[in-house]
Structure 1
């Protein structure tokens, strides 16, 4: 019995006469890099079931299929069995709810037990010839929604959407102090802090970064003023929210790396609550939400 071919594939119907296969696939968002990988790494491009090269002229009604090459996890990503809180899944992508304390991808300090390890393990169990493409990454101690693509092409399309500001990421945070403006935007460049491989800071020669801030609630805890805020990321710099809020004078509760106190919570009080984007294959508007976790909810709850 032949095993089912689980390689990722897309099928298109040609509606234009005389267009070359290469141009047609480009119009469907298939990059030159993806075409090269398909040709040399175990993929196929067919027209009406027959393999063709990219210079083949197409006719109206032709069925074009691109079968993407199998992907292998990098040497540093060991597939593992583990619990994943899956909010949504289809052939192209996964949306997960990550708990605080779990890294998104392996690192020297955390080589195992990450979201990526568990997703790679899931792919192996399902016989899926794919690796893990993280579209939206969260710091280890940030909780909330993560989007993962199952194929390099889907990752490319979602990354392009993010560059065009079509990928909406909204966070909820609890910060120290009473935030003075109810709505404001922080546009400050972020770069690595001198002498540190971890810390970032606002600096003139850093990369452009923009964060929108909106106040949700003012409250007091043990005689200290705190504010719950919603944030929208327009760029995705490392530690962007944490650095921008420290610069603004409102460090995240629990974020002792960037000036916050751990008297109320043992990690930065930051949660990715909303992801909104257009599905890269169907064009459907997708929105996912995640409730505030218990440790953050507990801070603002009245006794």
Structure 2
């Protein structure tokens, strides 16, 4: 199974910044050497690819460092050339994971999940929307109609993704998220499942099962993009849900088995994770990657 990384393209952050940038290097270190896992450097998304999902004026502002101070504050990162390169690589990793998944059945971006980025602005530590760009790239490369389902299980609603694909019948957006959590102004996904604070394993998995059943009734995907956020975990300082480590594993397994049942390739990105202890976040992400690797070794349909 291919796994794409970009943690060596440094996103320079000031001392004490609350974004857990070190988790990506720790995750790569934590899965390196797993038998059957191919760690590959993420390619950089091109301007042409970014423009499939983003406004040209916005892309140009990001590249040239001419965002307004308010726009930069909404992203949450200071502008640097490194920010631009890292953002390109994060998108490129999801594109590459989608391409690899179509060939091999499943693949992983060890970062990504930047679902708060809109067509014309960034937000919430998201500069470019990797799932949206990747979906458009895969559709452009297909010789026939190509449907993509984005299964967003980050604890925060995928507002940017929902807005980009509003009224687009070729992409289905599904989001399970904390109802009272960021973003406080939600955008309507094709299927939103808002969850109360404190939801634990059983209720979460019941909600996920129902959502996947509903998705199966109304949409036939050619590709699944799964945002496997670590932030529903009980150890997350921003998540406000109470999933255990075992519950997070069952969550991942539900999505993997859904892709198997449909014989549809699956690309995974890590999305959010803000544990009180960064090692807890890394452990959740590592569990997702290693379970995906185990799943890849049982695939026969691709």
Q: TM-score range by the shorter chain?
A: under 0.3
- Which structure has the highest strand share of the two? 1
After TM superposition, the score normalised by the length of structure 2 is: 0.28
After TM superposition, the score normalised by the length of structure 1 is: 0.28
Considering only CA atoms, is the larger Rg found in Structure 1 or Structure 2? 1
- Which structure has the highest helix share of the two? 2
